[in-house]
Structure 1
Amino acid sequence: MALHAQQFFDDVLELPLHQYAIVGDALYASPQPNSPLRLRIDFAPTIRHSEYDGLRLRVVHPEQGVLDTAILRFADHGTFARRDNGRDLVPGRDGYAVIRDWHAHSSQPPWHGADGTRLRTAIEQYAHFWFPPPPASRPAARPVAQPAPTTGAWSRTR
């Protein structure tokens, strides 16, 4: 498939994931060490063959299967706003905020001109919900020495 998924995930999203692999057109991640949960990110298809309008995020458990699915639309995150403005594409017009795998012979990947900043932020928020960072270890609290109140001072201020 000409989606160039490896380049899209590495160059456009630049996700700060602990461990991940790209298999075909999907990214599989283990955002937390020793967690059985996995994050799968792939392209969300439209009703047209080889056309995608966002990313599909899934949290997968090895025994229970898919626990949650979220769709992040390119249009909602401004991923192709610059590209579409340059082409005079507006919401509702054919080709707005989508990538297509129809031009396999093009020198540019179908996501050329994408800005993944807001999309990356949304993915990080989603991952943070399902894979919260471990609590920071703090040194044990020591009791603070409190001076004993004197009864004479208390009775004088009344």
Structure 2
Amino acid sequence: MPLHAQQFFDDVLEMSFYQYAIVGDALYTIPQPNSLLRLRIDFTPTIRHGEYDGLRLRVFHPEQGVLDTAILRFAEHGTFERRDAARDLVAGRDGYAVIRDWHANSSQPPWHGADGTGLRTAIEQYAHVWFPQPAVSRPSARPVAQPTPTTRLSPRSR
């Protein structure tokens, strides 16, 4: 069974990037117009074939290559907290906080029951570091008032 990456990124993460495309199991985006930097988000595999325990974020430049990589674990962001609680799975038990892409005949995607809120927040924070929002132009400041010259009273005018 394929990971259904398109559904995962659209339905679970619900990211609002400026422009993006999903190629295979990875999301590629230009989070900001006219930026040379790109962001790639894909699944991080465990030591088992077809098992994933988080998302890998990579910022890269088309000519300079990868500039930074971050791993967001599903367990650290509560992605499968409800699903695993219903299955009585806790940290350290087989299947806890992972996606398994092993069953070809399953009617539900392997990420069924995922809550993307924590991941989405972490991705937005990460993207904000590398792709800060353009500064909002403020109205021009008023000129500082110049002190008005004071006239000295001459001794005769007193």
Asked if these proteins are the same fold (TM beyond 0.5), I'd say yes
Of the two, which has the highest radius of gyration? 2
The answer for the alignment partner of 1:42 in structure 2 is: 42
1:95 alignment partner AA: G
Report what 1:129 is aligned to: 129
Partner-residue secondary structure (3-state), 2:56: strand
- TM-score, length basis structure 2: 0.91
Unaligned runs of 5+ in 1: 153-158
Query: Compared with structure 1, are the counterparts of its residues 146 and 46 closer, same or farther at alpha carbon in structure 2 (3 Å cutoff)?
Result: same
Alpha-carbon RMSD: 1.6
Distance in 1, matches of 2:69 and 2:6, equals 21
Distance 1:111 1:19 in 2: 24
Q: Cα distance, 1:104 vs. partner?
A: 2.1
SS in 2 for 1:137: coil
Q: Output one character per residue of 1:25-70: Cα deviation in whole Å (capped at 9) or x when no partner.
A: 0000000111111000000000000100000000010011000000
1:109-139 CA-partner distances (Å, limit 9, x unpaired):
0000000001100000000000001111112
Aligned-partner Cα distance in 2 for 1:125–1:146: 44
User: What's the CA shift for 1:150?
Assistant: 6.8
- 1:145 Cα deviation after fit: 3.6
Aligned equivalent of 1:92: 92
Shift of 1:148: 4.5
Q: How many angstroms apart in 2 are the aligned matches of 1:138 and 1:105? A: 57
Partner of 1:30: 30
Q: Quick one: distance in 2 between partners of 1:135 and 1:104?
A: 49
Partner of 1:75 in structure 2?
75
Give the Cα–Cα distance (whole angstroms) in 2 for the partners of residues 71 and 135 of structure 1.
Answer: 29
Flag as ranges the 4+ runs of structure 1 deviating above 3 A. Answer: 144-152
